[in-house]
A and B are shown apart, each in its own frame.
Chain A
Amino acid sequence: MRDEPPIVVVGAGPAGVSAARTLVGAGHRPILVDEGMFPGGQVFRRPPSPLQQSDEKLYGFDARRARRLHDEFAALLPSIVYHAETMVWAVESNLLHLARGDKTTCQPWKRLILATGAMDRIVPTNGWTAPGVVTLGAAQIALKAQASIIGKSVIFLGSGPLLYLVAYQYARAGARVVAVLEAGRPFQRFSDLPALASGGATFARGVFYIAWLKAHGVPIKTGIEPLEILHGSDGRTNGLRYRRKGQGRETILSCDALAIGYGLKSETQLADLLGVDFHFDPQQRQWLPTTDLDGRSCVDGVYLAGDGVSIRGNQIAAIAGELAALALLSDMNGSEAPQAGSLRREISRARRFRRALDSVFAFPTDQLKTLPDEALICRCEGLTAGAVRDVVGLSGESDINRVKAFSRLGMGRCQGRVCGPAAAELIAAAASTDILHVGRLRGQAPLKPIALATLAGGRDEGI
């Protein structure tokens, strides 16, 4: 197997590790590239050893799964080539360009499994760039990897199951949770309940978090419209002004930190650079790489798994990782693995629950319609909502790449990874057009910012 054409897995979260395990099980020696210091992805992130805590404390109900992933990985390690803290900064038809520290190297590939995961989805609120405002994901990183909290009294704002989980974790860690403010109205329709209940243990955990928070006196308010994130003379956030949707009365809450998140957004730049087809998923309200149920893309040798294809959570990600690896093996060998059928059925079964979640925690498109003109939408370029609306109005353009060309929207450090989804909604609203016609920002290398000196350093044989 020594000279086999390289199989590379990108991402060491639940999907990537499961894919690697399946490939090793079939006698291969995959190369696993991951940005993290340790395997586990965002969900099972581990702190550096001086800050180590028990799995129960770090992952709660998910402790067993987290431990299984880490144990599995430890067993896998001798059978794979593992590059930690390594970013893929560019990809070409048979070559991955990697960067670690200030060094770069090339990794040839013949078959590729992309398990690139997801990041927080942001909806800007006036004042959202004040220090002390972080994403839900960042609030979790502070807890899991840095053994710290983002503030002593924290407001959780946004939409989605993660909101309640992180609020619960913060309360358990000793923070005062001022309030959980949910933009959606998830518990309004009884008709959603059977579909939500189909989530089984996952749904039960969500119910537990909410019940626990309520029992501990944490106010949970739904149908919220955030109006402004307030800050003191030092610029740091010190509160939030909001109202219930459709009501005039405004409320101000004080805090010293605020965590925001409106669900997750798939990380798709690698698939984009490889030329994978994309489609607009109206349920998740984002552009996603197109694959078959097994994770095969339209590009020969390229497979996708996990939240980088569609936001379905860590359990489905692990199944999808195995399925993608089986698809790769079956394309290599021409014979299908017997367990593929049951894995597909598990993924299909989870659809109902996911659809219900996506529907009760729907993306708050209204907030982009009412976002005040002075609110920043693209923080890298300092562009306000009003500036983008002006460009749309004056140019008559509704294609996001055209608006980008005229306004610099999405041209900064984040390359649209943070502002893209909200900007697309804003443009659609300003142009009174369907978000489908707004299109998606096209990706370009580098996938994330990289110093000239790193690029100039040439090849490093050591990686």
Chain B
Amino acid sequence: MKVFDLAIIGGGLAGCSTALHARKKGASVILLERGRCGGQASGVNYGGVRQQGRHPAELPLARRSRGIWGNLYALVGCDCEFIATGHLKLARNDGDMVDLVAHQAIAADHGITIELFDRADLRRRFPYIGDRFYGASLCAEDGQANPRLAAPAFARAARQLGAQVQEECPVEHAVLSPFGFEIHVTGQDTPIRAHRLVNTAGAWGANVAGWFGDSVREEVMAPNMCVTEPIAPLIGPNLGICGGGIYIRQASGHGSIIFGSGVGTADRDALRARPLAAVTMDAAKAAIDMVPALANVLVVRSWTGIEGRMSDNLPVVGPSPTVPNLYHAFGFSGHGFQLGPAVGAVLAELAIDGGSPTCLAGLSMTRFAGVPDPAATSPPANKVQPKGKGNDTDEK
């Protein structure tokens, strides 16, 4: 009877990265994906690779992920079109500038350099930005990548190292048995068995967690995004705005402008998500406001995808509070693309080595009411209560 060292449910970027990193540690790995790897949120997101503006609880993961993004070619044989275009966050008023200064200090603690611009600097350095903005902060090492390539590249690399990556393979149920985890897959009589289980099931992650009594509420969101025809190089860094809202980048090398704000509709059970025309129209207006030169550029497509969202807009990442050898990483709330590579590295370390050097404080499922917290009696090191402030929800 074959028992894998590690089984992974969900072939998004986090799951595929887990498979690759665990396989590199020599573990026997099986990944089960209902559709195609990267077919959901990992493959249809905005493509921002951003540390700036993240909640402090995410920064250690974001920092580690940035290191992986910069070395993708060596890791997966493809750079996934990653390029450090920088990320520029615009302030609308004095209050926003205060937030940017505060975030600069927090980011510096994590080794992230952020440069501040006042109004005059902003005009000079980024003359294409609408003139209503008050200032900005730039994280030069942030950037962008092509989401359609990333998860499949990790899956391919994992497969080449001998991981079993099974696509079109929906998991119906999983239970803990005397033989470890038993995973029941559609169309197969015998369950797949593994000593450890990683749940990277995205918007369906809470459902998988629920099979083991780890009960938490996960909503869905469908970021409404648009892309234009290619135009000559115009925008350097990816653009965001304090407090969230419109985000814009120009695809490096290709020239199309990708922008979004607001959400479309998503039906998690029907696997169906649609952008909304009214949201697209509002986004177009906000995009012109941010970069007036976009007014006459043609939008060629709008789209969205099904993304899991937690009530505090932070993902669940870490060991199950109740079941040994079970690890969760889902509900990325729009942040999963940048974080994905590091999440996989960390989950592989937790599952195979029993620990990770990357701090996950504040991301455990135990932060939610009703979830038992076995660490409650120990010092509350991992109980940082996240706050929404300064955390862009929709810019990956």
Contacts and interface: CB of A to CB of B under 8 A. Distances in A.
Contacts of B302: 90, 444-446
B288 interface: yes
A215 interface: no
Interface string B259-301: 0000000000000000111001100110110000011111111
Per DSSP, chain B at the interface is mixed
Interface in A438-461: 444-446, 449-453, 455-456, 458
With most chain B CB atoms within 10 A of its CB, the pick from A95, A402, A415 is A402
Given A92-B276, A456-B287, 14 more contacts: A92-B277, A406-B149, A408-B254, A413-B300, A444-B301, A444-B303, A446-B300, A451-B295, A452-B228, A452-B284, A452-B297, A455-B281, A456-B284, A458-B285
A253 interface: no
A204 interface: no
Nearest to A407: B148
With most chain A CB atoms within 10 A of its CB, the pick from B36, B43, B277, B303 is B277
Contacts of A408: 254
Contact of B300 (A90, A95, A97, A412): A412
Per DSSP, chain A at the interface is mixed
A446 B301 CA distance: 6
B152 interface: yes
17 contacts: A90-B277, A92-B276, A395-B152, A402-B36, A405-B43, A405-B148, A406-B148, A408-B254, A444-B301, A444-B302, A445-B277, A446-B302, A449-B229, A452-B296, A452-B298, A455-B280, A458-B285
A444 B301 CA distance: 6
B251 to A, nearest CB: 10
Interface residues of A, number: 26
A142 interface: no
A395 B152 CA distance: 9
B284 A455 contact: yes
A96 B296 CA distance: 23
Interface residues of B, number: 29
Contacts of A402: 36
With most chain A CB atoms within 10 A of its CB, the pick from B229, B284, B287 is B284
Interface string B300-312: 1111000000000
Interface string A95-137: 1010000001000000000000000000000000000000000
With most chain B CB atoms within 10 A of its CB, the pick from A104, A395, A408, A451 is A451
A90 B296 CA distance: 19
Nearest to B147: A405
A456 B230 CA distance: 19
Contacts of B229: 412-413, 449
Contacts of A211: none
A411 interface: yes
Interface string A405-421: 11010011101000000
B295 A452 contact: yes
B298 A450 contact: yes
Interface string A391-406: 0000100000010011
A452 B277 contact: no
Given A445-B277, A445-B280, A458-B281, A453 B298 contact: no
Interface string B226-248: 01111000000000000000000
A405 B35 CA distance: 15
A450 B276 CA distance: 15
Nearest to A456: B285
A89 B303 CA distance: 14
A451 B297 contact: yes
A445 B275 contact: yes
B267 to A, nearest CB: 12
Contact of B298 (A97, A405, A449, A458): A449
B288 A452 contact: yes
A40 B19 CA distance: 59
A451 B298 contact: yes
Contacts of A458: 281, 285
A455 to B, nearest CB: 4
A415 B300 contact: yes
Contacts of B285: 455-456, 458
B42 to A, nearest CB: 11
A400 to B, nearest CB: 13
A456 B278 CA distance: 10
